[in-house]
Structure 1
């Protein structure tokens, strides 16, 4: 090695050799402080691990919400690493004061913030969502065309399982900046169907039959809010009733309740002889049509 480096070192200019020698001397002088800084960072790492293990359990005994526990642990972790890095920098380089290191970190943080603006935006939106908790895991929500059940809320994104089984991972900033419909905010949701009866039927009698049929469906919560039935319009071939009732708030509750209500209304109208008409069409011709009598002997 000396046979290789020796000639190379001799070929370097004298100022460069002096400068490189100064760097080597400075490095060897600072090496003990650098080792101490690395050891200190290892201790910080152990402290962070202990915080991540002890704090969630302590907060869990206090029955704090999981979202708040995650935010507190994250803030403690970031704070410990920030103070640890600043302290390690002052240990390794005693000429650097904590204020100077913090100022340098601030300037670098501004540059990083511009470069990763979207990442930090989702990060801050995730913290606010976890603290405010407008919706939680297992809620059914809709936002920007995404409709499904919340499976997980992380610092950066939210996982939504759509009703067709597909998983959507959406950035938290989308839920923070846009309106979010929380379908399961309460245990009840209103649903509506349209029922048509023939023009020849008695409107009041048809309304009573439909009302009794809907009330006897087990998924209809008429004990909480009444079933509402209104004659809505004169349709092309029927008088249409708007039938409204309350049931469970999950999408499957809505579909199941509609299925039972439609079947019950159809059964009740058939049993009482009230007609549910097919669409009728009346054809008018400008000229009278010739009527040909069929010859039975032909």
Structure 2
């Protein structure tokens, strides 16, 4: 029993001795991790200022900052591991990362997919920060493009984070990609209205409205004959921001109504006529009996003038 206790005691002393030997390296490794945290912030700040001077694209500036932060962390952790464990060589770390990359890839495939999609979005720039876009079922302003997701602020003031893989593999409508944006406004007039008069009236209204662009020029077209009106479509161009589109559309609607009133142009609405009767005074069996007695008459063989049945 004593030899066993001696062996356990010796093993514990060896472990304590090895821990004491490794303690300075472990402490130094932790210090290096803290230094890496500070260095990552400094690297972000320095790279951010340099990219603002050298790179005009805001998306590429964000990409450079994120690459600098991630690269600093990877380098710092590798150095801290080598310092904390002197027997661990750089080749061993690279080999360990290579063996673990397969398992990590399967476990975090969605994260890596979003990461790569985010990098491609930042490089290709299908849209930029501040653009108003439609992504999936959401519409709003692009607030940020991160490595994992794209941040969208809706017009109602809500923040939506959409995974980059979804953004990259699905259609995206960029509403502010160009300098102008067209709005189609539908309006109907009475069938007795002279169409040239209505068309010229609508054109004059749109051309006078503040905010409507002169180029491309506004258009007014007859698009169809409805149940109660002849339908027009007024097309005009404005700046692409949604606030301007909504404001000018409201002004155009009010101006068109006022112009129609001044010109005597009627804007009709559907009319329906409803006939009502008292169900209690209506008897189907009596009506059928009366119609049979009136509609069918038998011929009298003794009467020289035979009568024809009325159908």
The answer to whether the superposition gives a TM-score over 0.5 is yes
- Alignment partner of 1:30 is 2:22: yes
Do the aligned residues in 1 keep the contact of 2:59 with 2:129 (CA within 8 Å)?
no
- Alignment partner of 1:252 is 2:221: no
Do the aligned residues in 1 keep the contact of 2:58 with 2:129 (CA within 8 Å)?
no
SS of the residue corresponding to residue 113 of structure 2 reads helix
Q: 1:114 to 1:262 in 2, by over 3 A?
A: same
Q: 1:176 to 1:46 in 2, by over 3 A?
A: same
Q: How does 1:5-20 map to 2 (within 5 A)?
A: 13-20=5-12
- Give the match for residue 108 of structure 1: 100
- Alignment partner of 1:200 is 2:192: yes
- Alignment partner of 1:164 is 2:156: yes
Q: 1:282 to 1:120 in 2, by over 3 A?
A: same
Do the aligned residues in 2 keep the contact of 1:86 with 1:102 (CA within 8 Å)?
no
- Give the match for residue 99 of structure 1: 91
RMSD: 2.8
Q: 1:38 to 1:151 in 2, by over 3 A?
A: closer
CA distance in 2, matches of 1:45, 1:207: 68
The offset of 1:267, in angstroms, is 1.8
Q: Give the TM-score taking structure 2 as reference length.
A: 0.77
CA distance in 2, matches of 1:275, 1:281: 18
Computing the radius of gyration from Cα coordinates, the structure with the larger value is 2
CA distance in 2, matches of 1:144, 1:218: 33
CA distance in 2, matches of 1:235, 1:23: 92
CA distance in 2, matches of 1:190, 1:218: 15
CA distance in 1, matches of 2:240, 2:2: 83
- Alignment partner of 1:190 is 2:195: no
1:166-200 per-residue CA deviation (whole Å, 9 max, x = no partner) reads 22232222212211111111231111122111112
Aligned residues: 276
CA distance in 2, matches of 1:192, 1:250: 16
SS of the residue corresponding to residue 190 of structure 1 reads strand
Q: 1:273 to 1:92 in 2, by over 3 A?
A: closer
The offset of 1:40, in angstroms, is 4.4
- Alignment partner of 1:240 is 2:231: yes
Do the aligned residues in 1 keep the contact of 2:58 with 2:128 (CA within 8 Å)?
no
CA distance in 1, matches of 2:20, 2:97: 26
Q: 1:87 to 1:159 in 2, by over 3 A?
A: closer
Do the aligned residues in 1 keep the contact of 2:44 with 2:65 (CA within 8 Å)?
yes
CA distance in 2, matches of 1:134, 1:28: 56
- Alignment partner of 1:228 is 2:219: yes
CA distance in 2, matches of 1:267, 1:32: 85
- Give the match for residue 287 of structure 2: none
SS of the residue corresponding to residue 246 of structure 1 reads strand
The offset of 1:46, in angstroms, is 4.5
The offset of 1:78, in angstroms, is 2.3
CA distance in 2, matches of 1:57, 1:270: 60
Specify every segment of 5 or more residues in structure 2 that has no aligned partner in the other structure, as ranges: 277-311
CA distance in 2, matches of 1:162, 1:86: 41
Q: How does 1:268-279 map to 2 (within 5 A)?
A: 268-279=259-270
1:23-77 per-residue CA deviation (whole Å, 9 max, x = no partner) reads 3333333344444444544554443343233222233333543432332232223
- Alignment partner of 1:127 is 2:92: no
